[in-house]
Amino acid sequence: MNIVLLGPPGAGKGTQARRIQERYGIPQLSTGDMLRAAVASGSPQGRRAKAIMDSGQLVPDEAMIEIIAERTAQPDCRKGFILDGFPRTTRQAEALAKMFTEKGLKLDHVIEMTVDEAALVERISGRFTCGQCGTVYHDSTKRPRRDGVCDVCGSTKFVRRDDDKPETVRARLKVYRDQTAPILPYYRRRGQLKTVDGMADIDAVTAALFKLLGEP
């Protein structure tokens, strides 16, 4: 099963992609996480990406398309994958369609998570993630069961993203409106776009997503 999750920064793509990954045994391919790993490695590609990400802008299409082509060719993607953060421009959506045709793959679900923009800055400024396994938390809405200890892997190391400052979040939201939202009609025209209410609580969003993916 191949899935694309769409939605603005803070919509909950990463939170829900991890739950789908766990339930269906297909990997979450987060282009943001891949870029952050490249930044952490200190590679020249990572250094270039960091400057762009810290300004809230998008990394060039060609680089992203190449990353996704390589990642989806890995053996763990044979049963399918969840794209979280890709495609983000019409050019990326077209490249993805071409890649699916060439590889004989089917895009089974394109799901938009809709959210009120007003909620997003608050969601993102309260976000922190486990430094070991990447589980996503929030200062007020999703704290670990034991303070300072990850529910999933027990790590006590948490991280906050450099691009989660309110002014950068606002730039990311503008980029979403200008460059990413235009791909919604692209998928709508093809009859592929489904929607879930991303303002519901996290478990309710998961239930709605699992239903769209075919669960009773």
CB-based contact 193:110 (threshold 8 Å): yes
How many angstroms separate the CA atoms of 155 and 135, rounded? 10
Active site residue 142: no
Please report whether residue 109 would count as binding ligand AP5 according to CB under 6 A.
Answer: no
Token pair 């762009």: residue: 52
3-state secondary structure of 169: helix
Please report whether residue 65 would count as binding ligand AP5 according to CB under 6 A.
Answer: no
How many angstroms separate the CA atoms of 11 and 4, rounded? 14
Amino acid at position 210, single letter? F
3-state secondary structure of 189: helix
Please report whether residue 14 would count as binding Mg ion according to CB under 5 A.
Answer: yes
Q: Nearer Cβ to Mg ion, position 13 or 109? A: 13
Please report whether residue 208 would count as binding ligand AP5 according to CB under 6 A.
Answer: no
User: Binder to ligand AP5 among 15, 28, 72, 135 (CB under 6 A)?
Assistant: 15
Q: Nearer Cβ to ligand AP5, position 30 or 80? A: 30
Q: Nearer Cβ to ligand AP5, position 151 or 191? A: 151
Q: What sign does the CA torsion over 184, 186, 188, 194 have? A: negative
Q: Phi-psi bin for 85: left (phi > 0), alpha (psi -120 to 50), beta?
A: left
Q: Least separation, in Å, of the C-beta of 203 and ligand AP5? A: 9
Nearest to 163 by CA among 154, 172, 155: 172
Q: Single out the catalytic residue among 13, 18, 19, 50.
A: 13
Footprint on this chain of ligand AP5 (rule: CB under 6 A)? 7, 9-15, 31-32, 35, 52-53, 56-59, 64, 85-86, 88, 92, 123-124, 126-127, 136-138, 141-142, 163, 172, 198, 201-202, 205
Residues classed as catalytic: 13, 88, 127, 160, 172
